């Protein structure tokens, strides 16, 4: 009977997520990356046919829905969302395997609630950012964190499972170099806890290292232009033009959420069962908070890995406190209160605000995407369009829902803030002139039908 209830809530989350995703537009980043992946498959090159700041792994991960779309003439957005749902469900089952070993059968109730929470955070929490780089990394990396809990508890794990989790997690963490902050914190903790310098020499870590080596070789062989053309532009212009300083990021909302999360965990250090679960997830959340800070932008999808990990941790604390309610200690009551405030005040508000914004964008006839979609359908149907807009959301996902093609090689005027900072530095004038020349060629020589 309990299994039926759990499956009911899991299926309900999947169905509800499917309905929401059928109604809302995908993120502009996702639409741009899908178009860039198509260009890459047709022989396109970094810095010539498209100017994308991310390393190529995210393009590799987007290849399956793009190929499916090309072979079966399916709607690219629908193909992509089905692909992400399949990945999420696959990661859900792998997480369940590790959770079965973490929680003893007498505490299956904790595992059941966590399974519902996992499917919720995988499919509902991202809202319009479903399939973003951070979202993919969080899904692919979560089995590694559960495996690390087993390592901290010195439980035995099948080598085959460890290698599989290592390969999957290695792919997830390699999407952006920043993402390795979280697993590095975990490995440092495990080395200190076990007092073994080479404790990292385990099947899953060896698999992660192998994935990274193969990925680096693939960049050199298949996309060398990313290293020689794109990476210098990213360092000289894109990173220089990020909107916030590290100091400003340290006073952002996620930092205060993390302080409450840490307080809630430390309050229960003496009475919470499965302390290693709390410790590993708290370290993971800390690593993802650092990832959020160093990226120097207050975008919702940058916060998704932290939200997923912190939601799982807070739900586990609340369930354990509920099961221990006969021990009505002041500390348990205080911890429960702080956990509820953190969960509702940050995770739910962030999710609710983003979902509302996505729904308004989809259903309001006055939203930017809908008005632009109607405009280009009326005046440029069957032709090409070119958007002069600061952000990627200006042109995408309009091109996915209107009978037009985008002529731009740039996701937006992403290099403009960095360019303005370099104008007065003589030794950087060659960077400025080259970028402006490429942008000018973009509008003049790429069959722009409608500007």
Selected residue with higher pLDDT from 258 and 145: 145
Whether 374 and 419 map to the same domain: the answer is: yes
Q: Note whether 412 and 390 are within 8 A (CB).
A: yes
What is the structure's pLDDT at 84?
97
- Choice among 56-65, 288-297, 324-333 with the minimum mean pLDDT: 324-333
Q: What is the pLDDT of residues 2-39, one digit of tens each?
A: 677 888 999 999 999 999 999 888 988 999 999 999 99
Q: Pick from 363, 378, 396: which residue ends a domain?
A: 363
**From its phi and psi, is residue 154 left (phi > 0), alpha (psi between -120 and 50) or beta?**
left
Whether 142 and 277 map to the same domain: the answer is: yes
Whether 120 and 10 map to the same domain: the answer is: yes
Using the structure block, give the residue that is written with the tokens 């505490």.
Answer: 107
* Confidence bin at 448 (pLDDT 50/70/90): low
Query: Taking Cα atoms as reference points, which of 267, 4, 304 lies closest to residue 132?
Result: 304
- Choice among 139-148, 171-180, 295-304 with the minimum mean pLDDT: 295-304
- State how many domains the chain has: 2
pLDDT at 40 over 90: yes
Selected residue with higher pLDDT from 94 and 107: 94
- Choice among 11-15, 184-188, 217-221, 431-435 with the minimum mean pLDDT: 431-435
pLDDT at 217 over 90: yes
Query: Taking Cα atoms as reference points, which of 64, 4, 54 lies closest to residue 32?
Result: 54
pLDDT at 76 over 70: yes
What is the structure's pLDDT at 353?
74
Q: For the chain, what is the mean pLDDT?
A: 86
Whether 343 and 379 map to the same domain: the answer is: no
pLDDT at 434 over 70: no
Q: Pick from 363, 393, 428: which residue ends a domain?
A: 363
Whether 274 and 412 map to the same domain: the answer is: no
Selected residue with higher pLDDT from 334 and 117: 117
Does residue 451 fall inside a structural domain? no
Selected residue with higher pLDDT from 380 and 118: 118
What is the structure's pLDDT at 426?
61
Cross-strand partners of 385: 406, 450
Whether 373 and 344 map to the same domain: the answer is: no
Whether 388 and 356 map to the same domain: the answer is: no
For strand 384-385 and strand 405-406, is the pairing parallel, antiparallel, or unpaired? parallel
Cross-strand partners of 121: none
Structure tokens at 209: 């290292």
* Confidence bin at 425 (pLDDT 50/70/90): low
* Confidence bin at 253 (pLDDT 50/70/90): confident
Does residue 72 fall inside a structural domain? yes
Whether 56 and 150 map to the same domain: the answer is: yes
pTM over 0.95: no
pLDDT at 130 over 90: yes
Structure tokens at 305: 């890995």
Q: Pick from 363, 383, 410: which residue ends a domain?
A: 363
Whether 313 and 384 map to the same domain: the answer is: no
Cα 25 from Cα 140, distance rounded (Å):
23
Does residue 449 fall inside a structural domain? no
What is the structure's pLDDT at 1?
61
Does residue 29 fall inside a structural domain? yes
What is the structure's pLDDT at 345?
67
Cα 332 from Cα 197, distance rounded (Å):
36
What is the structure's pLDDT at 439?
59
Whether 279 and 141 map to the same domain: the answer is: yes
Mean pLDDT of 435-439: 61
* Confidence bin at 234 (pLDDT 50/70/90): confident
Does residue 450 fall inside a structural domain? no
Query: Taking Cα atoms as reference points, which of 15, 216, 8 lies closest to residue 123?
Result: 15
pLDDT at 225 over 60: yes
Does residue 347 fall inside a structural domain? yes
Positive or negative: CA dihedral 18, 23, 28, 33: positive
Residues 6+ apart with CB under 8 A from 120: 13, 311
Does residue 296 fall inside a structural domain? yes
* Confidence bin at 239 (pLDDT 50/70/90): confident
- Choice among 141-145, 207-211, 242-246, 390-394 with the minimum mean pLDDT: 390-394
Does residue 120 fall inside a structural domain? yes
Backbone phi and psi for residue 145, each to the nearest 5 degrees, phi listed first = -65, -35
Whether 224 and 89 map to the same domain: the answer is: yes
* Confidence bin at 281 (pLDDT 50/70/90): very high
* Confidence bin at 179 (pLDDT 50/70/90): very high
Whether 187 and 331 map to the same domain: the answer is: yes
What is the structure's pLDDT at 424?
62
* Confidence bin at 143 (pLDDT 50/70/90): very high
Cα 54 from Cα 254, distance rounded (Å):
24
Inter-residue long-range contacts of 100-106, CB under 8 Å, 24+ positions, other chains counted: 101/150, 101/155, 101/157, 102/146, 102/149, 102/150, 102/153, 102/274, 102/277, 103/274
Print the domain residue range for 414: 368-444
Please state the three-class secondary structure of the chain as a single string. CHHHHHHHHHHHHHHHHHHHHHHCCCCHHHHHHHHHHHHHHCCCCECCCECCCCCCHHHHHCHHHHHHHHHHCCCHHHHHHHHHHHHHHHHHHHHHHHHHHHCCHHHHHHHHHHHHHHHHHHHCCCHHHCCCHHHHHHHHHHHHHHHHHHHHCCCCCCHHHHHHHHHHHHHHHCCCHHHHHHHHHHHHHHHHHHCCCCCCCCHHHHHHHHHHHHHHHHHHHHCHHHHHHHHHHHHHHHHHHCCCCHHHHCCCHHHHHHHHHHHHHHHCCCCCCCHHHHHHHHHHHHHHHHHHHHCCCCCHHHHHHHHHHHHHHHHHHHHHHHHCCCCCCHHHHHHHHHHHHHHHHHHHHHHHHHHHHHHHHHHCCCCHHHHHHHHHHHHHCCCEECCCCCCHHHCCCHHHHCCCEECCCCCCCCCHHHHHHHCCCHHHHHHHHHHHHHHHHHHHCCCCCEC
């Amino acid at each position: 009977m309990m299994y039926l209830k759990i499956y009911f809530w899991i299926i309900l989350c999947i169905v509800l997520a499917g309905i929401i995703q059928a109604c809302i537009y995908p993120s502009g980043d996702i639409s741009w990356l899908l178009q860039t992946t198509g260009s890459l498959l047709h022989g396109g090159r970094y810095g010539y046919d498209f100017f994308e700041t991310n390393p190529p792994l995210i393009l590799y991960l987007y290849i399956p829905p793009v190929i499916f779309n090309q072979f079966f003439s399916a709607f690219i957005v629908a193909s992509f969302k089905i692909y992400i749902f399949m990945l999420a469900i696959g990661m859900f089952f792998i997480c369940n395997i590790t959770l079965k070993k973490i929680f003893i059968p007498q505490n299956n109730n904790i595992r059941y609630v966590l399974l519902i929470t996992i499917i919720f955070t995988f499919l509902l929490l991202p809202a319009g950012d479903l399939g973003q780089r951070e979202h993919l990394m969080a899904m692919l990396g979560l089995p590694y964190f559960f495996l690390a809990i087993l390592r901290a508890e010195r439980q035995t794990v099948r080598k085959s499972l460890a290698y599989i989790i290592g390969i999957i997690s290695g792919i997830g963490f390699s999407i952006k170099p920043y993402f390795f902050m979280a697993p590095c914190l975990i490995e440092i903790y495990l080395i200190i806890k076990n007092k073994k310098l080479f404790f990292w020499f385990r099947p899953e870590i060896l698999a992660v290292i192998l994935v990274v080596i193969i990925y680096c070789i693939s960049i050199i062989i298949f996309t060398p232009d990313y290293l020689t053309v794109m990476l210098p532009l990213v360092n000289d212009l894109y990173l220089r033009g990020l909107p916030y300083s590290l100091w400003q990021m340290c006073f952002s909302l996620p930092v205060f959420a993390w302080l409450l999360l840490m307080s809630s965990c430390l309050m229960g250090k003496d009475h919470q069962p499965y302390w290693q679960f709390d410790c590993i997830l708290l370290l993971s959340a800390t690593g993802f908070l650092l990832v959020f800070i160093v990226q120097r932008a207050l975008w919702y999808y940058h916060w998704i890995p932290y939200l997923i990990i912190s939601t799982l941790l807070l739900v586990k604390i609340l369930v354990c406190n509920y099961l221990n309610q006969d021990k009505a200690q002041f500390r348990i009551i205080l911890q429960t209160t702080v956990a509820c405030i953190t969960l509702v005040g940050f995770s739910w508000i962030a999710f609710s605000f983003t979902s509302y914004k996505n729904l308004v964008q989809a259903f309001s006839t006055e939203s930017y995407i809908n008005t632009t979609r109607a405009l280009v359908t009326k005046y440029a149907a069957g032709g090409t369009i070119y958007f002069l807009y600061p952000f990627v959301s200006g042109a995408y996902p309009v091109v996915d829902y209107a009978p037009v093609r985008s002529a731009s090689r740039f996701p937006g005027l992403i290099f403009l803030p960095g360019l303005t900072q370099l104008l007065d530095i003589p030794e950087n004038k060659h960077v400025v002139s080259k970028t402006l020349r490429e942008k000018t060629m973009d509008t003049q020589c790429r069959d722009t039908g409608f500007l």
